[in-house]
């Protein structure tokens, strides 16, 4: 199991659309709206790094998403 977080910046006015799409997206375990430098954080889980990357690509393809920063959890 691969886990990660995706920090998401959204275009002005796009918060509702992004929230709806994140909550419906496979691979997104949890999504929270934030105050600060980023608008959302998505907690991701996948069977492989390739699958995690596919989820991030899906997030980036949302038209209202301006930018993302993804952090992959270290295995221990």
CATH topology of domain 2-72: Alpha-Beta Plaits (3.30.70)
- Which are the contacts of 20, defined by CB distance < 8 A and separation ≥ 6? none
Domain extents for the chain? Answer: 2-72
pLDDT in tens, 19-33: 999 999 999 999 999
The alpha-carbon radius of gyration of the chain (Å, integer) is 12
Contact indicator for 45, 29 with CB cutoff of 8 Å? yes
- pLDDT at 40 exceeding the cut of 90: yes
pTM, two decimal places: 0.93
pLDDT reading at 75 higher than 90:
no
Are 57 and 44 a contacting pair, CB within 8 Å?
no
Q: Which two tokens stand for residue 30?
A: 């949890």
Cβ–Cβ under 8 Å, residues 11 and 64 = yes
């Amino acid at each position: 199991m691969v886990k990660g977080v995706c920090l998401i910046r959204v275009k002005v006015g796009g918060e509702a659309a992004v929230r709806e799409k994140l909550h419906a997206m496979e691979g997104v375990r949890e999504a929270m709206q934030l105050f600060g430098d980023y608008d959302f954080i998505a907690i991701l889980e996948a069977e492989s790094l390739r699958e995690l990357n596919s989820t991030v690509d899906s997030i980036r393809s949302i038209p209202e998403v301006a930018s993302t920063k993804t952090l992959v959890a270290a295995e221990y």
